[in-house]
Amino acid sequence: MRIGPNASDCLAERACYTEGMFVNGIHVQEYAKLEYGRLLWRVPAYRERLLRHWRDPRHPHAARFAEHETDVTRVLQSPKDSDAALDAELRQRNLSLRVVVKEIPSVFGSFF
C-alpha cells in the first residue's frame, strides 16, 4: 500500500512518508533537539550546565562543539519565530539553520 502525496514515486513494498518529517527544512528529531535546547537555554543554570557538559573533555564532541560554539549558542538563544531570518543570516556565511542544528551536541553520560 502506498501512502503520502508522492505515493506514485514509492516502492510498493514500503510506505512513503514525505510530509510531516521536516520542520523548516530540518528533520523533526533534529528540530526537537533545537526546541528543547532553546527551552533549557532560557534558564541560566541549565545554560551553564549545558556549556560545562559540552566543553568537558570527556564529551566525545567537545572539540567539535568548540569549533561551532558561537553559531550553536546564537541559534539556541534565538526565538522560535526567528528561524527564517536566522537561516537567511547563516546562509550569507555558507551555513544554514539545518547545518548548525546538527552541530548541537547531545547530552549524555554521568557527567551531566
* 70-86 pLDDT, tens digit each: 999 999 999 989 999 99
Nearest CA-CA partner of 3 in 20, 12, 14, 16: 16
Residue 110 lies in a domain: no
Residue 111 lies in a domain: no
Residue 97 lies in a domain: yes
Virtual torsion, Cα 62, 74, 32, 27, nearest 10 deg:
-90
Predicted confidence at residue 19, as pLDDT, reads 58
Q: How many domains does the chain have?
A: 1
Predicted confidence at residue 40, as pLDDT, reads 95
Does the structure show a pLDDT above 80 at 8? no
pLDDT confidence band for 60 (50 / 70 / 90)? very high
C-alpha cell at 103: 552541530
Task: List the domain range (segments joined by +) for residue 62.
Answer: 24-102
Residue 28 lies in a domain: yes
Angle at which helix 62-76 crosses helix 44-55, to 10 degrees, equals 160
Residue 9 lies in a domain: no
Residue 92 lies in a domain: yes
Predicted confidence at residue 20, as pLDDT, reads 64
Q: What is the pLDDT of residues 25-53, one digit of tens each?
A: 888 889 999 999 999 999 999 999 999 99
Predicted confidence at residue 110, as pLDDT, reads 80
Residue 3 lies in a domain: no
Residue 29 lies in a domain: yes
